[in-house]
Amino acid sequence: MQNFEYCTPTRLIFGKGVVERLPDVMKPLGKKVLLAYGSGSIKKLGLYDKVKNLMKDFEIIELANIQPNPKYDPSVLEGVRLCKEHQVEVILAVGGGSVLDCTKAIAAGAKYDGDPWDLISYKVKAQAALPIVDILTLSATGSEFDSGGVISRTETNDKIGYLDPLLYPVCSILDPTYTFSVSKKQTAAGCADAMNHVMEQYFVEDSTLLNDGFCEAELKSLMVNTRACLENPEDYRARAEMMLCCTYGCNRILSLGNSPSGWPCHGIEHALSAYYDITHGEGLAIITPRWMKHILNERTVDRFVKYGVNVFGIDSTLGKFEIAERAIDETYRFFESIGIPMHLREVGIDDSRIDEMAHHIAINEGLEQAYAPLTEKDIKEILLASL
Ligand code: NZQ
Ligand code: ZN
């Protein structure tokens, strides 16, 4: 087991009706609040009115219209400007991962005198950040329990995962009923994202029985509960378990002491959504089985055997490579069965920029250090196989 240091300071308040706790959570953090949200789903849900009502004793400044794959320009820049102009003391993010991620970059940018891109691009280390509280409305990214935000800069096709311990939310308010309205498309994409977070931690050289067990249970729970959510979007039990699975997915708790993985599917997908603005979870579902096929060899096969037997219940007496190939097929078929388009062409990506993307990924994502190292040629082959 590898040495590690771990601390997630985020308080989770989970369950039906917990949004009522909002004023008590916010009071110690300040009176001037930046309320950040997306394109209107929280208004349809009635959550916007609910929050405004609960927050009537606070001074609210609003940042609306944060887009999926949140953009540096205008959202981060506009949020930083508002925070500075109004001396905002605390940020309240209400929405999915894109809203939460955007507020993480804003929180650091608001306390920095220069161009916030210096922080996101790791040119400068942030010295402080505004506190963030969030009310999550979509189960997927785990941003509610991690220290990262992923920000896109359109003009350079960059999509950067910006991580800093200063960016953990102070408190995440998680009421699964606010996810009842999430569309089938986003429910499936959220599942694929969370499953991939787990797989990125599972496919490593050195792991433990404990971590493997956590990951396998997560994957099984995500599959069962996503099917249940798709069948009945108001199934509280299923939405709740899915929410908790996603919350655990991305903050390293599933892989403490493991050797590093390099998060290869995320490295590849971030370029797809940077170049084509596709839905992150769909991009991951498309890439994952192709990546698996590409890295399957004598060195990696035992991991696939464990995955196939423990997650999909494949007969352990079969040959190693047969189990591994069946496991990859099961992975593909599960994503397909929950309605995810499984080819890049179906999400609007053709072969015209594959070379450019493979080069961009190879230069920026460091995947030659991944569990199964990927060169530019490997990345290109995975992209071509995903078309
Ligand atoms: O904009 P609104 O109106 O809110 O609509 C959103 C958006 O259109 C909608 N939605 C959210 N909650 C809803 C709802 N619709 C109906 N009912 C609700 N309750 O869903 C759409 C997608 O929302 P978005 O926030 O973009 O989805 P998600 O949570 O999947 O976030 C994706 C972003 O997170 C990044 C991704 O790259 C992508 O940019 N990631 C963040 C990570 C992190 N912070 O740790 C890790 C991930 O690997 C990922 O990279
Ligand atoms: Zn992800």
Mutate to test the pocket of ligand 1, among 76, 99, 193 (most ligand atoms within 8 A of CB): 193
Strands 158-163 and 148-153: antiparallel
Can you tell me which atom of ligand 1 is nearest the CA of 189?
30
Residue 30 class from Cβ within 10 Å (0-12 exposed, 13-18 middle, 19+ buried)? middle
Nearest in space to 127 (alpha carbons), one of 113, 145, 117: 113
pLDDT for the residue 156: 92
pLDDT digits (tens, 9 = 90+) for 346-368: 999 999 999 999 999 999 999 99
Report angle CA 358, 100, 273 to the nearest 5 degrees. Answer: 20
Can you tell me which atom of ligand 1 is nearest the CA of 142?
45
CB crowding 128-148: b at 16 or more within 10 Å, else e: ebbbbbbbbbbbbbbbbbbbb
**C-beta of residue 367 within 8 angstroms of C-beta of residue 262:** yes
CA distances from residue 29 to 41, 128, 384 in whole angstroms, order as listed: 26, 15, 49
Q: Please confirm whether the linkage preceding 70 is cis (ω < 30° from 0).
A: no
**C-beta of residue 165 within 8 angstroms of C-beta of residue 148:** no
Can you tell me which atom of ligand 1 is nearest the CA of 161?
50
Contacts of 143 (CB under 8 A, 6+ apart): 97, 100, 101, 104, 134, 149, 250
335 C-alpha to ligand 1 centroid (Å): 18
pLDDT for the residue 182: 98
- Segments making up each domain of the chain, as ranges: 11-179, 184-385
Element (H, E) at 35: strand 32-37
Nearest in space to 138 (alpha carbons), one of 70, 194, 213: 194
pLDDT for the residue 373: 97
pLDDT for the residue 280: 98
Q: Using a 6 Å CB cutoff, which residues line ligand 1?
A: 38-41, 45, 68-69, 95-99, 101, 137-138, 140-143, 146, 148-150, 178-179, 181-182, 186, 190, 193, 250, 266, 280-281
Parts of the chain with a pLDDT under 70? none
Report angle CA 225, 227, 228 to the nearest 5 degrees. Answer: 60
274 C-alpha to ligand 2 centroid (Å): 13
Mutate to test the pocket of ligand 1, among 141, 177, 187, 246 (most ligand atoms within 8 A of CB): 141
Residue 243 class from Cβ within 10 Å (0-12 exposed, 13-18 middle, 19+ buried)? buried
**Tokens coding 321:** 């490579």
Name residues with Cβ closer than 5 Å to ligand 2, which is an ion: 193
pLDDT for the residue 128: 98
**C-beta of residue 320 within 8 angstroms of C-beta of residue 337:** no
pLDDT digits (tens, 9 = 90+) for 215-244: 999 999 999 999 999 999 999 999 999 999
Among the four given CATH numbers 2.30.30.90, 3.40.50.300, 3.30.70.660, 1.20.1090.10, the one describing domain 184-385: 1.20.1090.10
**Sign of the dihedral defined by the CA atoms of residues 250, 251, 254, 256, in that order:** positive
> Could you write out the DSSP letters of every residue in 47-66?
HHHHHHHHTTTSEEEEE--P
Can you tell me which atom of ligand 1 is nearest the CA of 104?
44
State the Cα–Cα distance between residues 93 and 80, nearest whole angstrom: 14
Tell me whether the CATH fold assigned to 11-179 matches the one assigned to 184-385: no
**Tokens coding 185:** 């498309």
Among the four given CATH numbers 3.40.640.10, 3.40.50.1970, 3.60.10.10, 3.40.50.300, the one describing domain 11-179: 3.40.50.1970
> Could you write out the DSSP letters of every residue in 70-130?
-BIIIIIHHHHHHHHHHT--EEEEEESHHHHHHHHHHHHHTT-SS-THHHHTTSS--S---
Mutate to test the pocket of ligand 1, among 75, 101, 252 (most ligand atoms within 8 A of CB): 101
pLDDT for the residue 197: 98
Can you tell me which atom of ligand 1 is nearest the CA of 99?
25
Strands 158-163 and 171-174: unpaired
Q: Is 65 left (phi over 0), alpha (psi -120 to 50) or beta?
A: left
**Tokens coding 300:** 């990696």
Can you tell me which atom of ligand 1 is nearest the CA of 273?
37
**Tokens coding 247:** 């919350």
State the Cα–Cα distance between residues 84 and 383, nearest whole angstrom: 42
103 C-alpha to ligand 1 centroid (Å): 13
pLDDT for the residue 179: 98
